[in-house]
Protein backbone atom coordinates (compact mmCIF):
# COMPACT_ATOMS: atom_id res chain seq x y z
CA UNK A 1 0.00 0.00 0.00
CA UNK A 2 1.28 3.46 -0.87
CA UNK A 3 2.08 5.87 1.94
CA UNK A 4 -0.84 7.89 3.22
CA UNK A 5 -1.15 11.60 2.44
CA UNK A 6 -0.48 13.63 5.58
CA UNK A 7 -3.40 16.06 5.59
CA UNK A 8 -3.82 18.90 8.08
CA UNK A 9 -7.05 20.85 8.46
CA UNK A 10 -6.74 24.19 10.24
CA UNK A 11 -9.86 25.05 12.23
CA UNK A 12 -11.08 27.08 15.18
CA UNK A 13 -13.79 25.25 17.19
CA UNK A 14 -16.57 22.74 16.58
CA UNK A 15 -19.50 25.04 17.26
CA UNK A 16 -22.98 24.58 15.74
CA UNK A 17 -22.27 26.71 12.70
CA UNK A 18 -22.29 26.26 8.95
CA UNK A 19 -18.52 25.94 8.54
CA UNK A 20 -18.29 23.19 11.13
CA UNK A 21 -21.22 21.30 9.58
CA UNK A 22 -19.66 21.64 6.15
CA UNK A 23 -16.40 20.26 7.51
CA UNK A 24 -18.19 17.25 8.97
CA UNK A 25 -19.82 16.69 5.59
CA UNK A 26 -16.39 16.40 3.98
CA UNK A 27 -14.68 14.60 6.87
CA UNK A 28 -17.29 11.85 6.96
CA UNK A 29 -16.61 11.03 3.30
CA UNK A 30 -12.81 11.03 3.27
CA UNK A 31 -11.02 7.78 2.54
CA UNK A 32 -8.94 7.23 5.68
CA UNK A 33 -6.98 4.48 3.97
CA UNK A 34 -5.73 7.27 1.71
CA UNK A 35 -5.28 10.07 4.28
CA UNK A 36 -3.61 10.47 7.65
CA UNK A 37 -5.74 13.36 8.92
CA UNK A 38 -4.95 15.86 11.66
CA UNK A 39 -7.31 18.62 12.73
CA UNK A 40 -5.78 21.64 14.46
CA UNK A 41 -8.28 23.62 16.53
CA UNK A 42 -7.85 26.81 18.50
CA UNK A 43 -10.10 25.14 21.08
CA UNK A 44 -10.77 21.42 20.87
CA UNK A 45 -14.33 21.85 22.01
CA UNK A 46 -17.83 22.73 20.85
CA UNK A 47 -21.22 21.00 20.56
CA UNK A 48 -20.19 19.20 17.35
CA UNK A 49 -16.80 18.05 18.62
CA UNK A 50 -18.03 14.54 19.47
CA UNK A 51 -19.27 14.09 15.89
CA UNK A 52 -15.76 14.19 14.42
CA UNK A 53 -14.75 10.90 12.75
CA UNK A 54 -12.68 8.79 15.11
CA UNK A 55 -9.91 8.45 12.49
CA UNK A 56 -9.05 12.16 12.82
CA UNK A 57 -6.26 13.10 15.19
CA UNK A 58 -7.23 16.34 16.93
CA UNK A 59 -4.58 18.69 18.25
CA UNK A 60 -5.15 21.98 20.05
CA UNK A 61 -3.14 25.17 20.05
CA UNK A 62 -1.32 25.07 23.37
CA UNK A 63 -1.64 28.85 23.71
CA UNK A 64 -3.03 31.86 21.82
CA UNK A 65 -6.21 29.95 20.90
CA UNK A 66 -8.28 32.76 22.41
CA UNK A 67 -7.13 35.00 19.55
CA UNK A 68 -9.11 32.90 17.07
CA UNK A 69 -12.42 33.07 18.93
CA UNK A 70 -12.43 36.74 19.87
CA UNK A 71 -15.26 39.10 18.99
CA UNK A 72 -15.58 42.87 19.15
CA UNK A 73 -16.60 42.56 22.78
CA UNK A 74 -13.82 40.15 23.82
CA UNK A 75 -10.92 41.40 21.70
CA UNK A 76 -9.35 43.60 24.38
CA UNK A 77 -9.44 40.79 26.95
CA UNK A 78 -7.99 38.25 24.50
CA UNK A 79 -5.12 40.55 23.51
CA UNK A 80 -4.43 41.30 27.17
CA UNK A 81 -4.39 37.62 28.17
CA UNK A 82 -2.40 36.37 25.18
CA UNK A 83 0.15 39.16 24.81
CA UNK A 84 0.20 42.07 27.24
CA UNK A 85 0.36 39.90 30.35
CA UNK A 86 3.45 38.21 28.94
CA UNK A 87 5.10 41.33 27.64
CA UNK A 88 3.68 44.78 28.52
CA UNK A 89 5.86 46.32 25.79
CA UNK A 90 3.40 44.92 23.26
CA UNK A 91 1.20 47.89 24.18
CA UNK A 92 3.57 50.13 22.20
CA UNK A 93 2.93 47.98 19.11
CA UNK A 94 -0.83 48.07 19.62
CA UNK A 95 -1.06 51.83 20.24
CA UNK A 96 -0.72 53.00 16.58
CA UNK A 97 -3.53 50.65 15.52
CA UNK A 98 -5.78 51.91 18.31
CA UNK A 99 -5.18 55.52 17.23
CA UNK A 100 -5.84 54.71 13.59
CA UNK A 101 -9.01 52.83 14.50
CA UNK A 102 -10.29 55.84 16.49
CA UNK A 103 -9.42 58.38 13.78
CA UNK A 104 -10.60 56.40 10.74
CA UNK A 105 -13.74 54.64 11.86
CA UNK A 106 -14.83 53.70 8.33
CA UNK A 107 -11.76 51.48 7.99
CA UNK A 108 -11.92 50.19 11.57
CA UNK A 109 -12.46 46.57 10.48
CA UNK A 110 -9.41 46.77 8.18
CA UNK A 111 -7.28 48.11 11.03
CA UNK A 112 -8.52 45.44 13.43
CA UNK A 113 -7.64 42.63 11.01
CA UNK A 114 -4.20 44.10 10.35
CA UNK A 115 -3.55 44.26 14.10
CA UNK A 116 -4.77 40.67 14.49
CA UNK A 117 -2.45 39.51 11.72
CA UNK A 118 0.52 41.36 13.29
CA UNK A 119 -0.11 39.76 16.67
CA UNK A 120 -0.45 36.31 15.12
CA UNK A 121 3.13 36.64 13.86
CA UNK A 122 4.21 36.18 17.48
CA UNK A 123 2.68 32.70 17.67
CA UNK A 124 5.19 29.85 17.36
CA UNK A 125 5.10 27.84 14.14
CA UNK A 126 3.24 24.53 14.20
CA UNK A 127 5.71 21.65 14.61
CA UNK A 128 5.95 19.04 11.89
CA UNK A 129 5.44 18.99 8.14
CA UNK A 130 2.45 17.95 6.05
CA UNK A 131 1.78 16.97 2.47
CA UNK A 132 -1.37 19.09 2.33
CA UNK A 133 -2.66 21.81 4.64
CA UNK A 134 -6.25 23.01 4.28
CA UNK A 135 -7.58 26.15 5.99
CA UNK A 136 -11.24 25.13 6.08
CA UNK A 137 -12.45 27.76 8.57
CA UNK A 138 -11.83 30.79 6.35
CA UNK A 139 -9.61 33.85 6.56
CA UNK A 140 -8.11 33.57 10.06
CA UNK A 141 -7.28 29.91 9.55
CA UNK A 142 -5.74 30.86 6.18
CA UNK A 143 -3.49 33.52 7.72
CA UNK A 144 -2.31 31.00 10.30
CA UNK A 145 -1.78 28.26 7.71
CA UNK A 146 0.32 30.46 5.44
CA UNK A 147 2.47 31.91 8.21
CA UNK A 148 2.76 29.04 10.67
CA UNK A 149 2.31 25.72 8.87
CA UNK A 150 4.86 23.86 6.77
CA UNK A 151 3.21 21.92 3.94
CA UNK A 152 3.93 20.95 0.35
CA UNK A 153 0.51 22.20 -0.78
CA UNK A 154 -1.78 24.77 0.83
CA UNK A 155 -5.52 25.05 0.19
CA UNK A 156 -7.98 27.56 1.59
CA UNK A 157 -11.78 27.61 1.66
CA UNK A 158 -13.87 30.72 1.13
CA UNK A 159 -17.33 30.44 2.69
CA UNK A 160 -18.20 34.13 2.58
CA UNK A 161 -18.90 36.89 0.09
CA UNK A 162 -15.50 38.57 -0.29
CA UNK A 163 -17.10 41.76 -1.63
CA UNK A 164 -19.56 42.30 1.24
CA UNK A 165 -18.63 43.65 3.67
CA UNK A 166 -15.53 45.08 1.98
CA UNK A 167 -12.20 43.38 2.66
CA UNK A 168 -8.69 44.79 2.74
CA UNK A 169 -7.27 43.67 -0.62
CA UNK A 170 -3.72 44.68 0.31
CA UNK A 171 -3.89 42.33 3.29
CA UNK A 172 -5.68 39.40 1.65
CA UNK A 173 -4.06 39.30 -1.79
CA UNK A 174 -0.55 38.24 -0.65
CA UNK A 175 -2.09 35.39 1.34
CA UNK A 176 -4.29 34.23 -1.50
CA UNK A 177 -1.22 34.31 -3.76
CA UNK A 178 0.59 31.92 -1.39
CA UNK A 179 -2.24 29.37 -1.60
CA UNK A 180 -2.06 26.64 -4.22
CA UNK A 181 -5.84 26.44 -4.46
CA UNK A 182 -8.76 28.61 -3.31
CA UNK A 183 -11.95 26.61 -2.95
CA UNK A 184 -15.14 28.66 -3.12
CA UNK A 185 -18.37 27.11 -1.91
CA UNK A 186 -20.60 28.52 -4.67
CA UNK A 187 -20.40 29.96 -8.15
CA UNK A 188 -21.50 33.36 -6.84
CA UNK A 189 -18.77 33.37 -4.16
CA UNK A 190 -16.25 32.37 -6.82
CA UNK A 191 -17.37 35.12 -9.22
CA UNK A 192 -17.29 37.78 -6.49
CA UNK A 193 -13.73 36.91 -5.47
CA UNK A 194 -12.40 36.74 -9.03
CA UNK A 195 -14.12 40.00 -9.94
CA UNK A 196 -12.45 41.75 -7.02
CA UNK A 197 -9.05 40.03 -7.36
CA UNK A 198 -8.64 38.83 -10.97
CA UNK A 199 -4.94 38.17 -10.29
CA UNK A 200 -5.85 34.94 -8.44
CA UNK A 201 -8.56 33.67 -10.80
CA UNK A 202 -6.43 30.71 -11.91
CA UNK A 203 -6.22 29.45 -8.31
CA UNK A 204 -9.99 29.49 -7.77
CA UNK A 205 -12.33 26.53 -8.00
CA UNK A 206 -15.89 25.82 -6.91
CA UNK A 207 -16.53 22.83 -4.64
CA UNK A 208 -19.91 22.95 -2.97
CA UNK A 209 -20.40 22.00 0.66
CA UNK A 210 -21.56 18.48 1.38
CA UNK A 211 -24.78 17.96 3.32
CA UNK A 212 -25.73 14.51 4.60
CA UNK A 213 -29.44 14.08 3.83
CA UNK A 214 -29.74 10.74 5.65
CA UNK A 215 -28.04 12.06 8.81
CA UNK A 216 -30.20 15.20 8.84
CA UNK A 217 -33.43 13.20 8.54
CA UNK A 218 -32.26 10.68 11.16
CA UNK A 219 -31.66 13.56 13.58
CA UNK A 220 -34.94 15.25 12.63
CA UNK A 221 -36.94 12.14 13.51
CA UNK A 222 -35.48 11.77 17.01
CA UNK A 223 -34.73 15.28 18.22
CA UNK A 224 -36.66 17.63 20.51
CA UNK A 225 -38.99 20.10 18.86
CA UNK A 226 -41.02 23.18 19.80
CA UNK A 227 -41.97 23.32 23.49
CA UNK A 228 -45.42 24.87 22.90
CA UNK A 229 -47.05 21.72 21.49
CA UNK A 230 -50.59 23.08 21.61
CA UNK A 231 -49.99 26.04 19.30
CA UNK A 232 -52.23 25.79 16.20
CA UNK A 233 -50.92 28.74 14.16
CA UNK A 234 -48.01 29.03 11.76
CA UNK A 235 -44.45 28.54 13.00
CA UNK A 236 -41.71 30.65 11.42
CA UNK A 237 -38.17 29.39 12.08
CA UNK A 238 -34.80 31.08 11.72
CA UNK A 239 -31.62 29.11 12.43
CA UNK A 240 -28.77 31.61 12.56
CA UNK A 241 -26.20 33.20 14.80
CA UNK A 242 -27.64 36.20 16.60
CA UNK A 243 -25.64 39.05 15.10
CA UNK A 244 -26.00 41.95 12.69
CA UNK A 245 -24.95 39.90 9.67
CA UNK A 246 -27.90 37.52 10.02
CA UNK A 247 -30.47 40.33 10.03
CA UNK A 248 -32.30 39.04 13.11
CA UNK A 249 -32.98 42.65 14.13
CA UNK A 250 -35.45 42.82 11.23
CA UNK A 251 -37.59 40.14 12.85
CA UNK A 252 -39.30 41.93 15.80
CA UNK A 253 -40.82 44.82 13.78
CA UNK A 254 -41.89 42.43 10.99
CA UNK A 255 -43.47 40.10 13.52
CA UNK A 256 -45.29 43.08 15.08
CA UNK A 257 -46.85 43.95 11.71
CA UNK A 258 -47.91 40.36 11.06
CA UNK A 259 -49.53 40.01 14.47
CA UNK A 260 -51.32 43.35 14.07
CA UNK A 261 -52.73 42.13 10.75
CA UNK A 262 -54.19 39.07 12.41
CA UNK A 263 -51.77 36.36 11.29
CA UNK A 264 -51.64 33.56 13.92
CA UNK A 265 -47.84 33.24 13.93
CA UNK A 266 -44.98 32.58 16.27
CA UNK A 267 -41.36 33.13 15.28
CA UNK A 268 -38.54 31.00 16.69
CA UNK A 269 -34.81 31.70 16.51
CA UNK A 270 -32.25 28.94 17.10
CA UNK A 271 -28.65 30.06 17.37
CA UNK A 272 -25.99 31.34 19.69
CA UNK A 273 -24.45 34.76 19.86
CA UNK A 274 -22.66 37.24 22.07
CA UNK A 275 -24.57 37.98 25.25
CA UNK A 276 -24.77 41.64 24.27
CA UNK A 277 -26.38 40.82 20.89
CA UNK A 278 -28.84 38.36 22.44
CA UNK A 279 -29.89 40.87 25.10
CA UNK A 280 -30.29 43.57 22.47
CA UNK A 281 -32.64 41.32 20.48
CA UNK A 282 -34.66 40.51 23.60
CA UNK A 283 -34.99 44.22 24.40
CA UNK A 284 -36.09 44.88 20.83
CA UNK A 285 -38.77 42.20 21.16
CA UNK A 286 -40.05 43.89 24.31
CA UNK A 287 -40.04 47.30 22.65
CA UNK A 288 -41.99 45.96 19.65
CA UNK A 289 -44.41 44.13 21.94
CA UNK A 290 -43.70 40.67 20.55
CA UNK A 291 -41.91 39.05 23.50
CA UNK A 292 -44.80 36.57 23.74
CA UNK A 293 -44.60 35.53 20.07
CA UNK A 294 -40.82 35.63 19.45
CA UNK A 295 -38.97 32.71 21.03
CA UNK A 296 -35.18 32.89 21.27
CA UNK A 297 -34.29 29.24 21.91
CA UNK A 298 -30.50 29.47 22.00
CA UNK A 299 -28.04 27.11 20.37
CA UNK A 300 -29.10 23.57 19.48
CA UNK A 301 -26.84 20.73 18.40
CA UNK A 302 -29.83 19.19 16.62
CA UNK A 303 -32.11 21.87 15.12
CA UNK A 304 -33.62 19.49 12.59
CA UNK A 305 -36.71 18.44 14.53
CA UNK A 306 -37.58 22.13 14.72
CA UNK A 307 -37.10 22.38 10.96
CA UNK A 308 -39.30 19.32 10.52
CA UNK A 309 -42.16 20.90 12.45
CA UNK A 310 -41.80 24.49 11.21
CA UNK A 311 -44.16 25.82 8.56
CA UNK A 312 -41.76 28.32 6.95
CA UNK A 313 -37.98 28.66 7.21
CA UNK A 314 -36.72 32.26 7.13
CA UNK A 315 -33.18 33.62 6.68
CA UNK A 316 -33.09 37.46 6.70
CA UNK A 317 -29.30 37.91 6.39
CA UNK A 318 -27.68 41.15 5.27
CA UNK A 319 -24.87 39.19 3.60
CA UNK A 320 -23.84 35.56 3.19
CA UNK A 321 -21.61 33.29 1.17
CA UNK A 322 -23.64 30.12 0.75
CA UNK A 323 -25.44 29.40 4.04
CA UNK A 324 -25.67 25.77 5.10
CA UNK A 325 -29.02 26.36 6.83
CA UNK A 326 -30.72 27.05 3.50
CA UNK A 327 -29.37 23.77 2.12
CA UNK A 328 -30.62 21.97 5.23
CA UNK A 329 -34.08 23.54 4.89
CA UNK A 330 -34.12 22.43 1.25
CA UNK A 331 -33.24 18.88 2.28
CA UNK A 332 -36.24 18.97 4.64
CA UNK A 333 -38.57 20.31 1.91
CA UNK A 334 -39.41 23.48 3.84
CA UNK A 335 -40.96 26.56 2.19
CA UNK A 336 -38.18 29.16 2.41
CA UNK A 337 -38.06 32.95 2.62
CA UNK A 338 -34.52 34.26 2.10
CA UNK A 339 -33.02 37.70 1.61
CA UNK A 340 -31.19 38.43 -1.62
CA UNK A 341 -27.67 37.68 -0.36
CA UNK A 342 -24.89 36.74 -2.78
CA UNK A 343 -25.83 33.11 -3.47
CA UNK A 344 -29.60 33.29 -2.91
CA UNK A 345 -30.47 33.05 -6.60
CA UNK A 346 -28.05 30.15 -7.02
CA UNK A 347 -29.36 28.22 -4.00
CA UNK A 348 -33.04 28.84 -4.72
CA UNK A 349 -32.80 28.77 -8.53
CA UNK A 350 -33.88 32.37 -8.94
CA UNK A 351 -36.99 31.88 -6.81
CA UNK A 352 -38.13 28.51 -8.18
CA UNK A 353 -37.25 26.74 -4.91
CA UNK A 354 -38.07 29.50 -2.43
CA UNK A 355 -39.12 33.12 -2.07
CA UNK A 356 -36.27 35.65 -2.36
CA UNK A 357 -36.83 39.09 -0.80
CA UNK A 358 -35.03 42.40 -0.77
CA UNK A 359 -32.67 42.75 2.18
CA UNK A 360 -34.24 44.65 5.04
CA UNK A 361 -37.39 44.95 7.11
CA UNK A 362 -39.73 45.78 4.21
CA UNK A 363 -38.53 42.91 2.02
CA UNK A 364 -38.72 40.43 4.88
CA UNK A 365 -42.27 41.51 5.71
CA UNK A 366 -43.44 41.19 2.11
CA UNK A 367 -41.82 37.76 1.69
CA UNK A 368 -43.18 36.19 4.87
CA UNK A 369 -46.63 37.70 4.28
CA UNK A 370 -46.64 36.27 0.75
CA UNK A 371 -46.06 32.70 1.96
CA UNK A 372 -48.45 33.01 4.90
CA UNK A 373 -51.17 34.15 2.52
CA UNK A 374 -50.47 31.64 -0.24
CA UNK A 375 -50.46 28.03 1.03
CA UNK A 376 -50.52 26.74 -2.55
CA UNK A 377 -47.15 28.41 -3.24
CA UNK A 378 -45.74 26.72 -0.15
CA UNK A 379 -46.96 23.38 -1.49
CA UNK A 380 -45.29 24.08 -4.85
CA UNK A 381 -41.95 24.80 -3.15
CA UNK A 382 -42.23 21.63 -1.07
CA UNK A 383 -42.98 19.48 -4.13
CA UNK A 384 -40.06 20.93 -6.09
CA UNK A 385 -37.62 20.47 -3.20
CA UNK A 386 -38.68 16.86 -2.72
CA UNK A 387 -37.72 16.10 -6.33
CA UNK A 388 -34.18 17.53 -6.16
CA UNK A 389 -31.22 15.22 -6.79
CA UNK A 390 -27.93 15.74 -4.93
CA UNK A 391 -24.41 14.77 -5.96
CA UNK A 392 -21.94 14.56 -3.07
CA UNK A 393 -19.42 12.19 -4.64
CA UNK A 394 -18.03 14.72 -7.13
CA UNK A 395 -17.00 17.13 -4.36
CA UNK A 396 -14.96 14.49 -2.54
CA UNK A 397 -13.54 13.18 -5.80
CA UNK A 398 -12.33 16.65 -6.80
CA UNK A 399 -10.79 17.26 -3.37
CA UNK A 400 -8.90 13.97 -3.72
CA UNK A 401 -7.60 15.09 -7.10
CA UNK A 402 -6.40 18.44 -5.74
CA UNK A 403 -4.55 16.74 -2.87
CA UNK A 404 -2.83 14.38 -5.32
CA UNK A 405 -1.88 16.91 -8.01
Residues 58-73 pLDDT 10s? 999 988 999 998 877 7
pLDDT at residue 1 is higher than 60: no
Beta-sheet pairing, 312-315 with 234-239: parallel
| Residue range 218-242: mean pLDDT, rounded | 92
Map residue 302 onto helix, strand or coil: coil
How would you list the strands of the sheet with 294-298, edge to edge? 294-298, 265-270, 234-239, 312-315, 336-339, 355-357
pLDDT band at residue 17, thresholds of 50, 70 and 90? Answer: confident
Where are the domains positioned within the chain?
5-61+123-210+393-404, 214-386
Domain 214-386: top CATH class: alpha beta
Q: What is the pLDDT of residue 143?
A: 96
Per-position DSSP letters for 259-286, written without gaps between them? HHTT--EEEEEE----HHHHHHHHHHHH
Query: Whose CA is closest to 61, among 124, 151, 3, 132?
Result: 124
| Residue range 273-293: mean pLDDT, rounded | 95
Torsions phi, psi of 54, nearest 5?
A: -65, -20
| Residue range 366-370: mean pLDDT, rounded | 98
CA–CA separation, 296 and 316 (whole Å): 15
Residue 191's H or E segment, with its range, is helix 187-196
Query: Whose CA is closest to 325, among 20, 12, 39?
Result: 20
Q: What is the pLDDT of residue 162?
A: 94
Extended beta strands in 25-164, E state: 35-41, 57-60, 130-135, 151-158
pLDDT band at residue 392, thresholds of 50, 70 and 90? Answer: confident
pLDDT band at residue 91, thresholds of 50, 70 and 90? Answer: confident
| Residue range 102-127: mean pLDDT, rounded | 87
Do 175 and 197 touch, CB atoms closer than 8 A? Answer: no
Map residue 118 onto helix, strand or coil: helix
Q: What is the pLDDT of residue 90?
A: 87
Q: Look up residue 55 and give its DSSP letter.
A: T
Q: What is the pLDDT of residue 351?
A: 97
> Given this chain, do its domains 5-61+123-210+393-404 and 214-386 carry the same CATH topology?
yes
CA–CA separation, 61 and 236 (whole Å): 40
| Residue range 289-312: mean pLDDT, rounded | 95
What is the tens place of the pLDDT at every residue in 93-107? 888 888 888 777 777
Share of the chain above pLDDT 70, in %: 100
| Residue range 352-375: mean pLDDT, rounded | 98
Q: Which CATH number fits domain 5-61+123-210+393-404: 3.40.190.10, 3.40.50.620, 3.40.50.2000, 3.50.50.60?
A: 3.40.50.2000
CA–CA separation, 57 and 128 (whole Å): 14
Torsions phi, psi of 210, nearest 5?
A: -100, 130
What is the tens place of the pLDDT at every residue in 173-228? 999 999 999 999 999 999 999 999 999 999 999 999 998 888 899 989 988 899 88
| Residue range 29-49: mean pLDDT, rounded | 95
| Residue range 352-358: mean pLDDT, rounded | 98
pLDDT band at residue 54, thresholds of 50, 70 and 90? Answer: very high
What is the tens place of the pLDDT at every residue in 143-164? 999 999 999 999 999 999 998 8
Q: What is the pLDDT of residue 152?
A: 97
Q: What is the pLDDT of residue 125?
A: 95
Amino acid sequence: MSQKIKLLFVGITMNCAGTEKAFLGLANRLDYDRYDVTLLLAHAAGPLFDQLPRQIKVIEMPEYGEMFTLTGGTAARAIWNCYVKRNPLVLFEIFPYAVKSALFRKSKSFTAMRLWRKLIQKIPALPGEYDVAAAFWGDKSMFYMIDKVKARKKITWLHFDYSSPPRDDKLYLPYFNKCDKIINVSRAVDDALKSRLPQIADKCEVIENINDRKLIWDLALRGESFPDKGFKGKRLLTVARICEQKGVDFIPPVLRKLVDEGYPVRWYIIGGGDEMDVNRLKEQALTCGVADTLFILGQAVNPYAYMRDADIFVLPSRYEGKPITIEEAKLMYKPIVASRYLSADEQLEGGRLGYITDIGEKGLYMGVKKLLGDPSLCDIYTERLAKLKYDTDSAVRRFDEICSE
